[in-house]
Amino acid sequence: MNAATLFQEILRKKSYLCVGLDTDLAKIPPHLLSEKDPIFEFNRQIIDATADFCVAYKPNIAFYECLGSKGWDSLARTAEYLPKDTFKIADAKRGDIGNTSTMYAKAFFEQMNFDAVTLSPYMGKDSISPFLAFPDKWAILLALTSNEGSKDFQNLRLQNGKQVFEEVLHTSQQWGSTDNLMYVVGATKAEALAAIRQLIPQHFLLVPGYGSQGGELAAVAKYGLNQQCGLLVNSSRGIIYADNTKDFAKTARKIAQSIAQEMQELGLYK
């Protein structure tokens, strides 16, 4: 999926919502635990309920990996189930030297059919390029994350005047295009989006932290939207764990719908 197609999907669904599938056995409704694959069954119902109101899904790989090969099977089953017209993000935060990054890329792009993988930029160009070598696939680089620890290194000021995350944005742009490179920018830093939009006016931004981490949609839209939308705003817990009863999927649908409604009211692009 390229950027133009993603934008078309956003216009068609009137939403740039990404639903985070941070699926945790300890948090899903208890009645699902008797299912053969409770994780997949939860995801399946969430996907069915929310697909009308979101353009992307983002399983966080840690939640599957901590269950060993069973979890990996649930992840593969989920990836396969995701609708073709949605943008499928493996939130893996990987990154290694060249030949090893190729192996990670194969895991998510060939073993499974994800469109994108989140990556840490720390090891530089040759840790990212192998992902960009896969046609129609995306690398989503961590730039400015929404957690407390983002201050430790991302916000440090370099001798050239830029902060580290700004240098990441500046340098990495040359590694790919607006059709295969996207950036993670935390929603708690909405004001920083204005400066980021100056640095990278065209790229899509993946904005986690909406809802549970305190991000506000109006500010994200104000500073983050561009002419082709340019935003994927993720909500995980706020949607998937809003209701712990047998009605969890219905509730998730209502919340996804209301976020999409808010997005539409704020405008889907600039």
Determine which residue in the list 30, 52, 171, 261 makes contact with a copy of itself, applying CB under 8 A: 171
| Residue 14 annotated among the catalytic residues of the structure | no
- The strand pairing partners of 21, in sequence order, are 59
Residues 55-84 contacting a copy of itself, CB under 8 A: 60, 62-63, 65-70, 72-73, 76
Active-site residue, from 14, 93, 222, 254? 93
Number of residues that bind a copy of itself (CB under 8 A): 56
Query: HSE of 68 in the Cβ direction (CA atoms, 13 Å)?
Result: 1
Rule CB under 8 A: say whether 23 interacts with a copy of itself.
no
How far apart CA 112 and CA 77 sit, in angstroms, is 9
How far apart CA 205 and CA 184 sit, in angstroms, is 6
Rule CB under 8 A: say whether 262 interacts with a copy of itself.
no
**CB 146 to a copy of itself: min, Å:** 8
**CB 16 to a copy of itself: min, Å:** 22
In this complex, which beta carbon is closest to a copy of itself, that of residue 115 or of residue 166? 166
Asked if 116 contacts 142 with a C-beta cutoff of 8 angstroms, the reply is no
Determine which residue in the list 34, 36, 148, 198 makes contact with a copy of itself, applying CB under 8 A: 148
Asked if 23 contacts 35 with a C-beta cutoff of 8 angstroms, the reply is no
Rule CB under 8 A: say whether 234 interacts with a copy of itself.
no
**CB 114 to a copy of itself: min, Å:** 13
Rg, the chain, Cα only = 18
In this complex, which beta carbon is closest to a copy of itself, that of residue 106 or of residue 270? 106
**CB 22 to a copy of itself: min, Å:** 8
Q: Max CA-CA distance within the chain?
A: 58
Rule CB under 8 A: say whether 205 interacts with a copy of itself.
no
- Tell me the residue length of the chain: 270
How far apart CA 16 and CA 2 sit, in angstroms, is 15
**CB 119 to a copy of itself: min, Å:** 9
Q: How far is CA 67 from CA 61, 73, 121, 157, in A?
A: 10, 10, 27, 39
Rule CB under 8 A: say whether 89 interacts with a copy of itself.
no
Q: How far is CA 232 from CA 7, 203, 270, in A?
A: 10, 11, 15
Residue 35 contacts by C-beta under 8 Å, 6 or more apart in sequence? 41
Rule CB under 8 A: say whether 235 interacts with a copy of itself.
no
Give catalytic residue positions.
Answer: 93
Q: Which residues bind a copy of itself (CB under 8 A)?
A: 22, 60, 62-63, 65-70, 72-73, 76, 93-98, 100-101, 103-104, 106-107, 110-112, 120-128, 142, 145-154, 156-159, 164, 167-168, 171
